[in-house]
């Protein structure tokens, strides 16, 4: 195996590997590179286009069916090809789990509303509403003094 490293501050960072087959080592290298390359943007997919979404403008990540969606500040929803636990590990501070199927950008929540049933909803700047589970709300209440 040959290893080459080129340092050029004028070019975008890129990792290229030429291998004979995919092995557990290659999978681990890919995981490490992708984890550490998480920048302030993430690709979002909508119909036939790919849009680079700014993490700070994402209000909420939500799972519906088998797909993970990013709810953007303009109210549009984009498919994100990551699972919530992967996002939770990589996202900057300020993203909190609010249910089994949702991660919220704490800075994008404008208010909380309480339903007659006792459920609590998070209302985001775009108007999007997501229910907060009782277990998560208890933890958020303890942590943030709500």
65-87 pLDDT, tens digit per residue, is: 999 999 999 989 999 999 999 89
Full-model pTM: 0.69
How far is residue 94 CA from its own chain's centroid? 11
CATH architecture of 39-144: Beta Barrel (2.40)
Measured in Å, how far apart are the chain's first and last C-alpha atoms? 56
Distance CA 92, CA 57 (A): 12
pLDDT tens digits for range 25-57: 887 777 676 655 556 888 899 888 888 899 999
Distance CA 49, CA 97 (A): 28
Q: For the CA atoms of the chain, what is the radius of gyration?
A: 19
CA dihedral 135, 138, 142, 145 (to 10 degrees): 140
Question: Shortest CA distance to 90 belongs to which of 34, 29, 48?
Answer: 34
Distance CA 69, CA 21 (A): 32
């Amino acid at each position: 195996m040959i290893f080459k490293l080129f340092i050029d501050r004028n070019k975008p960072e890129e990792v290229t590997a030429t291998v004979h087959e995919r092995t557990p080592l290659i999978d681990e290298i890919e995981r490490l590179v992708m984890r550490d390359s998480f920048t302030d943007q993430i690709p979002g997919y909508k119909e036939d286009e790919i849009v680079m979404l700014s993490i700070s403008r994402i209000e909420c990540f939500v799972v519906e069916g088998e797909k993970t969606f990013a709810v953007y500040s303009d109210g549009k929803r984009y498919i994100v090809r990551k699972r919530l636990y992967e996002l939770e590990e990589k996202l900057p501070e300020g993203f909190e789990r609010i249910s089994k199927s949702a991660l919220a950008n704490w800075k994008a929540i404008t208010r909380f509303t309480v339903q007659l049933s006792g459920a609590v909803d998070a209302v985001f700047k775009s108007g999007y509403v997501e229910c907060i589970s009782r277990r998560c709300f208890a933890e958020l209440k303890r942590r943030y003094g709500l």
